[in-house]
Amino acid sequence: MGNIVAIVGRPNVGKSTFFNRLIQRREAIVDAVSGVTRDRHYGKSDWNGKKFSLIDTGGYVLGSDDVFEAEIDKQVELAIDEADAIIFMVDVETGVTGMDEDVAKLLRKVNKPVFLVVNKVDNAKRSEDAVEFYSLGLGEYFTIASINGSGTGELLDALVEALPEKERVVEEELPRFAVVGRPNAGKSSFINALIGEDRYIVTDIAGTTRDAIDTKYNRFGFEFNLVDTAGIRRKAKVKEDLEFYSVMRSVRAIEHCDVCLLVLDATRGFDGQVQNIFWLAERNRKGIVVLVNKWDLVEKDHKSVKEYEKSIRQEMEPFTDVPIIFISVLTKQRIFKAIETAVEVYKNRTKKIKTSKLNEVLLPIIENYPPPAYKAKFVKIKYIMQLPTPQPQFAFFCNLPQYVKDPYKRFLENKLREHFDFTGVPVSVYMRKK
């Protein structure tokens, strides 16, 4: 299980540059997902073989500096609650500010690893100036220049050293379905409706994550864990409107589940925050089922289910092969359909296709529509196999993998979907040298 590292600090100290530097290195390799990654504030990184998720809290604050004063405290408190380690970034050019002191005051009470990082230190003079940050009472600090990366090595060495070792709880590996979505979309009610009258529940096990409760659930002869990310936080501490809050809460649940049930409020639509959670699940290559709740509250005259569904699929592009189910938690309409669909998506995600079958079906298609020639060179795809990974990934062996561009990879992905049903599951297509 990955650790979560949060980067906190006031605006313009260089958090994003640092964040981008850390994830870029790896993202270029791992996350070369077709299409765009839309959420620039969450990424994965690794150092010395230790992987962690990185969250740049600053990216979630909109508005002016005075709004920020109040928000930053909330963010830091949330980071303290949720993250396994915290990087607190300050800027040597401006020196210690009142806002830095506020943040330091919150961080001094924490019993998690906190790294004070002084940014923009790119010469000896600035290195001397950094001494004033001792006044924050957080002890030793690291000096870096995130623009050119100097000093980040030492910081990362110390960071991964301090990250707690997560024990993998080895249980019977039941599939895990996580219920995610923005606050007030009806996640808790959805789970209560499933569990409410239902005597199918086997046991309640306290989740391995502090804030998600797993319920072992058995229905249709299918057993799985339901991970509820909904309502377990002390509400008083965090104002629910903070976008960052639901994203941060979802990160953990999404990373450790097989299928995400993304609940959205029909009256609000597939808005920015829901999209963030959707792309988070897509980038982690999880199965996804979209549940449109409160459909009963939508004025029907101007919007039919079909149109509504179409507008959601437009927002999802290019990954549109996702089940969308209209439910009403109040009337329990189609909530079991939702679970059945999640089970199907789970089966699609774990599906293994015989190599002989893959080649038999796809090679003729490829012969009829070969990849476009590039600089008068012809790409010949000879052989296809599914890789032995937890989610569907396919290697297409060919003579010139570097000349196969994204549109053609998407064409191949669509053909895989057409013939083998991967609804609800991100599929990765790789070109390999024969």
188 is in an annotated binding site: yes
2 is in an annotated binding site: no
53 is in an annotated binding site: no
293 is in an annotated binding site: yes
58 is in an annotated binding site: yes
185 is in an annotated binding site: yes
Those residues with Cβ within 8 angstroms of residue 99's Cβ, 6 or more apart along the chain or in another chain = 10, 69, 72
Answer for the pair 252, 210: CB distance below 8 angstroms, yes or no: no
CA atoms 179, 283, 244, 72: torsion sign: positive
287 is in an annotated binding site: no
57 is in an annotated binding site: yes
61 is in an annotated binding site: no
183 is in an annotated binding site: yes
Answer for the pair 15, 9: CB distance below 8 angstroms, yes or no: yes
Please choose, from the candidates 214, 255, 424, 277, the residue with its C-alpha nearest in 3D space to the C-alpha of residue 340.
Answer: 424
281 is in an annotated binding site: no
Task: Specify burial of residue 402 (Cβ count, 10 A radius: 0-12, 13-18, 19+).
Answer: exposed
230 is in an annotated binding site: yes
Distance separating the N- and C-terminal Cα atoms of the chain:
34
9 is in an annotated binding site: yes
32 is in an annotated binding site: no
13 is in an annotated binding site: yes
231 is in an annotated binding site: yes
15 is in an annotated binding site: yes
108 is in an annotated binding site: no
186 is in an annotated binding site: yes
Dist. CA 120–CA 13, nearest whole Å: 8
121 is in an annotated binding site: yes
187 is in an annotated binding site: yes
295 is in an annotated binding site: yes
120 is in an annotated binding site: yes
123 is in an annotated binding site: no
Those residues with Cβ within 8 angstroms of residue 24's Cβ, 6 or more apart along the chain or in another chain = none
229 is in an annotated binding site: yes
Instruction: State the DSSP H helix or E strand holding residue 10, giving kind and residue range, or none if neither.
Output: none
**Residue for token pair 């306290």:** 206
Task: Specify burial of residue 195 (Cβ count, 10 A radius: 0-12, 13-18, 19+).
Answer: middle
232 is in an annotated binding site: yes
16 is in an annotated binding site: yes
Annotated binding-site ranges for GTP: 9-16, 56-60, 119-122, 181-188, 228-232, 293-296
Annotated binding-site ranges: 9-16, 56-60, 119-122, 181-188, 228-232, 293-296
